[in-house]
Amino acid sequence: MTELLKITLPDGSQREVARGTTPAQIAADIGPGLAKAALAAKVDGALYDIMRPLEADAQLALVTAKDEKDALELVRHDFAHVLAEAVQSLFPGTQITFGPSTDDGFYYDVAAPKDRGPFTEEDLPAIEAKMREIIAADKPLRREVWSREALIERWASQGESFKAEWAAELPGDEDLTVYWSGGDWLDMCRGPHLASTGKLDPQAFKLTRVSGAYWRGDQRNAMLSRIYGTGWLNKKQLDSHLLRLEEAAKRDHRKIGQEMDLFHLQQEAHGSVFWHPKGYIVWRALEAYMRRRLDKAGYHEVKTPQIMDARQWEQSGHWGKYRENMFVIPDEVPNTQDEGPVVSDAAEWMALKPMNCPAHILIFKQGIKSYRDLPLRMAEFGCCHRNEAHGALHGIMRVRQFTQDDAHIFVREDQLVEEVAAFCDLLDSVYKHLGFESYAIKLALRPEQRFGSDEMWDWSEQSLRNAVAATGRATEAYGWEELPGEGAFYAPKLEFHLTDAIGRTWQCGTIQTDTVLPERLDASYVGEDGERHRPIMLHRAILGTFERFIGILIEHHAGKFPMWLAPVQAVVATIVSDADDYAHEVAEKMRAAGLRVDTDVRNEKINYKVREHSLAKVPNLLVVGRREAEEGTVALRRLGSDEHQKVMKIDDLIAQLVTEATPPDLR
């Protein structure tokens, strides 16, 4: 007798189907339009192959292109597999490793055949052409379950040493999955995948670049070729993305930073930034603004040591989690695969701090704290160091030395929701002042490897939900979303994702509820009952790091900073040398009013000066000649304005520019 399964659809209706029925068959029963549009399924909330037989009662939702997030993840995963198949078809002897989807595409790490060098961008056109052949062939993507031993044997027989190594580490008591492309190529993969390669749009992808990547991210391992691509549901989406990339290249913070003489990077301090005078003006203006906002919000600023005893990091739990990314003195301290070495008997081992949290608890523990002292808001513009992999470094966006706008708030349980809500309001105001009108809020939930009890995590996660709801921001308008498994090892966290001028998102702000670190480092306060209690520690940042956020600001504004952040707010430029003295007089008067002003009295044509200062993104160019000197006026040219220059009395102009240059929190 055929076993029947009860399948519940999103509208609440139910269907009884035979065990082994596929989601594709259910879609076909509903209608031919849905059968054609369905790309995959969600079975009890998890993505599922459209052709995979159902084995139990389930909640079923069919995924179409309208479910863009899930659909994009599927097609990008498939593009990665097609890429690997194309490379092996064109270049026999190539070994494949891993090929995940990314935020805007996919990549695959491959080892080139021994008889040729690493892959280069010159190989990309041929690989793209072969990928389109595979897509046009409409090869079925078929799932099979294998044992670990069968996988190892398969990879070893094919000369796939990397895959064999990985397969050997998979759980021996679990069935593992592979996917066939047609009947002649397979890859080890959890899935899910589309029904066939023909479901991909052959005009909706483009291979973009090739870089080096170490096997498993370890520089002691073999160097592989990482081939990147971008993949979309259709050509229109791809074209829009390529236009964004073109605009992003124009806004690249490294390019603009050089044009504006803000900073530079060099090998002698790899992963650290050399801030030039103009760049450091931006830094100082941003820091002063943040300091005023924190002072007004009741934070106490502190400063903690750069180097701390390694035993402190062991006690906090960071040693086992972050040791490989910490700069340790001496650097030959051994490491292990689990919790790191025991350092309790080695007082001479020190570490540059990768974060500020433990040091702030040490300040909190000085003296007895009462429930009346809470909430206690402790802020630090703390310089931290993390030994990021060489390949992960990117301009000033990803560095090894950075300064966080860090703070920790120690609260009682009854204060948590109100304090998190107040932080959300502060962050909202700061982002709007800095020119970011749109951001999304996401709740990152408990990871598999974590400290603390399930009850603690239940309470912490719900508290963050309640706090965001209290501000009215747990809505679709704010992109509210929950991210299973993406919390820190000690706490769930709210993440704040900015959207910039060209639609890119940047995760900057965060707030985390932590009950683990106060326990591990024995922080306590005296409650109203006279007993000792553990405070809850809120880890929070708004900018994230100054380096990265300034990079984001540069790209968001394309270097055209708001007046209050502009390193040079005006340049007084002469048309003729007879006006040199007047130009200096105007500049001095503006400086006395608090404006940042330069003069340009070089013996160059005015059009040359205009072009040069426009490239340097100076917001105001004040042109002076004999007439202006005689009349006490200037001719104002605005950066990026189509209006002709405007002649103004110098006192009127100064009053106007002083107003424009006033930071938004002081207006």
- Name the binding residues for Zn(2+): 357, 408, 539
C-beta of residue 502 within 8 angstroms of C-beta of residue 374 = no
Q: State the binding site.
A: 357, 408, 539
The one catalytic residue among 539, 548, 557, 609: 539
Residue 59: partners with Cβ closer than 8 Å, 6 or more residues away: 8, 42, 43, 44, 45
Among 604, 650, 610, smallest CA distance to 630 is for: 650
Residues 6+ apart with CB under 8 A from 67: none
Which one is catalytic: 95, 187, 278, 357?
357
User: Does residue 375 have a cis peptide bond before it, meaning omega lies within 30 degrees of 0?
Assistant: yes
Is residue 408 annotated as part of the catalytic site, yes or no?
A: yes
- Is 406 in the active site? yes
d(CA 499, CA 531): 46
d(CA 600, CA 596): 14
Query: What distance in Å separates the CA atoms of residue 168 and residue 153, rounded to the nearest whole number?
Result: 10
Distance CA 374, CA 143 (A): 56
- Going by C-alpha positions, the residue among 364, 406, 358 that lies closest to residue 382 is 406
Nearest to 664 by CA among 472, 436, 379: 436
Q: Which of 201, 406, 428, 600 is catalytic?
A: 406
Catalytic residue among 408, 450, 473, 613: 408
Q: Which of 241, 278, 386, 400 is catalytic?
A: 386
The yes-or-no answer on residue 386 being catalytic is yes
- Pairing outcome for strands 4-8 and 58-63: parallel
State the Cα–Cα distance between residues 466 and 470, nearest whole angstrom: 6
Q: Retrieve residue 76's tokens.
A: 């990008």
- The DSSP secondary-structure symbol of 326 reads S
Copy the structure tokens of residue 569.
């707010």
- Is 213 in contact with 223 (CB distance < 8 Å)? yes
Q: How far is CA 91 from CA 85, 167, 188, 213, 661, in A?
A: 10, 23, 20, 19, 60
Catalytic site residue 539?
yes
Q: Catalytic one among 493, 504, 548, 637?
A: 493
Assign 438 to helix, strand or coil: coil
Amino acid at 444: A
Q: Indicate if 638 belongs to the active site.
A: no
First to last CA, the chain: 79
Residue 222 token pair: 């073999």
**Which among 404, 415, 512, 569 is annotated as catalytic?**
404
Catalogue the active-site residues. Answer: 357, 386, 404, 406, 408, 493, 539
